[in-house]
Amino acid sequence: MLEELSLHILDIAMNSLAAGANRVAIAVVESQRHDFLILRVRDNGRGMDAGTLDRVLSRGITTKKSRRKNIGLGLALLRQSSEMCAGHFHMKSAPGQGTSVTASLRLSHVDRPPLGDLPATLLTLCAANPEVDIRLNYRTDTGRFDFSSQELTPKGKTNT
């Protein structure tokens, strides 16, 4: 089980990278006022057709040797979490059009997993895939934070 939502984000983003994406945009919207938490991971990878989309969402796929089984498992777990927490899970994809995964959860739900260490998820993705633009848009009722790994330049080198 993945105990933090930020681990789910990492899991989904790894799928994006496996799909050859060079841009992965992560959005997290946390609203106390409206009592919801929305996670979205959108990529420009190769996408998938309707049949594959159905398959990755069904639970308990164990076609060993195929990497796809694990992709299906991770998504099924997130869908379960989101539906358990009075939210919705939605996935959109088409060949050549990338993939977008959206999960919402009720913020105050007792079973809602913590968001966890989101910076660690981002750093893992950035460090391991320097050529991919990893973006984060994080919004709350009172503020926002935007990040893009392609904005970083090697000029910070002087302090090492």
The residues that touch other proteins, with contacts defined as CB under 8 A, are: 1-2, 7, 10-11, 14, 18, 30, 65, 67, 70-71, 73-74, 115-124, 126-130, 136, 138, 140, 143-145, 147, 149, 152-154, 156-157, 159-160
Q: How far apart are CB 51 and other proteins at their closest, in Å?
A: 21
Q: Which residue, 91 or 126, is less far from other proteins as judged by CB?
A: 126
Show contacts of 83-88: CB within 8 Å, 24+ apart: 84/109, 84/111, 85/109, 85/111, 85/112, 87/36, 87/37
Q: Are strands 99-105 and 36-43 parallel, antiparallel or unpaired?
A: antiparallel
Q: Which residue, 51 or 62, is less far from other proteins as judged by CB?
A: 62
Q: How far apart are CB 37 and other proteins at their closest, in Å?
A: 10
| Gap between the Cα atoms of 159 and 112, Å rounded | 41
Q: How far apart are CB 140 and other proteins at their closest, in Å?
A: 7
Q: Which residue, 7 or 103, is less far from other proteins as judged by CB?
A: 7
Q: How far apart are CB 122 and other proteins at their closest, in Å?
A: 6
Q: Which residue, 10 or 91, is less far from other proteins as judged by CB?
A: 10
Where are the alpha helices (H) located in the chain, listed in sequence order? Answer: 5-18, 50-57, 68-84, 118-128
The helix or strand, by DSSP H or E, that contains position 99, with its residue range, turns out to be strand 99-105
